[in-house]
Amino acid sequence: MAKGLLVTYVLWAVGGPAGLHHLYLGRDSHALLWMLTLGGGGLGWLWEFWKLPSFVAQANRAQRQRQSSGRGTPPLSPIRFAAQMIVGIYFGIVALISLSFMASFYIVGLPLAVGLGVLLVAAVGNQTSDFKNTLGAAFLTSPIFYGRPIAILPISLVASITAQKHRRYKASAGSETLSVRLYRLGLAYLAFTGPLAYSVLCNTAATIGYVAETVGSFLSWFSFFPFLGRLLESVLLLPYRVWRLLVGDPGFSSSYFQEWEKLYEFVRSFQDEKRHLAYQVLGLLEGATNEEIHRRYRELVKIWHPDHNRHQTEEAQRHFMEIQAAYEVLSQPRKPRGS
């Protein structure tokens, strides 16, 4: 059945940020991308207003032709490449917030999340990319930056380059029922939002810590790139600025530095609290030297190692993990506030 342009525009207006119009046109990958990003932060949804006629024509053409495979290689698209980078970083941040408690997170969880984000964008429309090569590039890049949240950036970059290198047209498949498509999209949506919802609702304190640590790492890294740093500042402050515009305060634009300083201090306050708790766990005074931290860590590890406390395994395991986490926090160099 041919797709109608009027119906597409109605669905775009009613449920565009949720991808309803893409679901109607059979663009399931694009629909899932919009579901997970709320229409690309709203900007992608608005930009599509001018693209809908071409989407409808492409959907109707695909229904008529049903070719077994596409010929040639799709043209290189800087917009698609940039979107792959952004969504890869977005997926990585969500994974860092909700899954970083995993023992092998930086080896398995992070590259898998970033790679899947890149592949999702690569599969938008009539194009796709090689699954194994893209994920393989992400997994090979991850160990180089092991244990650093900033690893999201190089992993996303390498995976996006690989996806572009292996881009191709999709092979046409048989039509599926709407229920099957919705079932598959629902599973993908739950796989993305389930761990994040659990982390936010059931482990709120740790989630706040992960968010603060991630944002702090990004702020430190972007300090070497002034233009990108200002762009990141604008993105972080956008909701605040929009709110001030709505309440009608005309003088807010003159206090840009103070606004950013408040946001930065807000993030740093969580980091300071994290270090304070780490000192308490190790039983040290704040400002202890690295030698004192290392010596105290070795002493507590010997005391609370689960193998030495078989009569109270659960309590020993809990203390052992707290000691490990506290030592990891205090082992990271602390940058001065003015840096």
* Predicted local distance difference test score (pLDDT) of residue 160: 94
CA distances from 91 to 10, 19, 21, 84, 213 (A): 30, 18, 23, 10, 16
Asked if 300 contacts 330 with a C-beta cutoff of 8 angstroms, the reply is no
Residue 305 has pLDDT above 70, yes or no: yes
Q: Model confidence at 64, in pLDDT bands (50, 70, 90)?
A: low
Query: What share of residues in the chain are helix, strand, coil (percent, to 5)?
Result: 80, 0, 20
Q: Model confidence at 69, in pLDDT bands (50, 70, 90)?
A: very low
Segment 217-221 shows an average pLDDT of: 59
Residue 262 has pLDDT above 70, yes or no: no
Q: Model confidence at 68, in pLDDT bands (50, 70, 90)?
A: very low
Average pLDDT of the chain to the nearest whole number: 78
Range with the lowest mean pLDDT among 19-23, 149-153, 203-207, 328-332? Answer: 203-207
Cα first-last separation, the chain: 61
Looking at residue 169, its amino acid is: Y
- Looking at the chain, the whole-number percentage of residues with pLDDT higher than 90 is 14
Asked if 196 contacts 94 with a C-beta cutoff of 8 angstroms, the reply is yes
What span, in angstroms and rounded, lies between the C-alpha atoms of 51 and 69? 24
Q: Is 48 exposed, middle or buried (0-12, 13-18, 19+ CB in 10 A)?
A: buried
The three-class DSSP label of residue 180 is: helix
pLDDT in tens, 308-324: 888 888 888 888 888 88
* Predicted local distance difference test score (pLDDT) of residue 47: 87
275: enclosing H helix or E strand:
helix 256-282
Q: Model confidence at 275, in pLDDT bands (50, 70, 90)?
A: confident
What span, in angstroms and rounded, lies between the C-alpha atoms of 18 and 35? 5
What span, in angstroms and rounded, lies between the C-alpha atoms of 127 and 132? 16
* Predicted local distance difference test score (pLDDT) of residue 337: 46
Asked if 113 contacts 119 with a C-beta cutoff of 8 angstroms, the reply is no
Segment 272-301 shows an average pLDDT of: 85
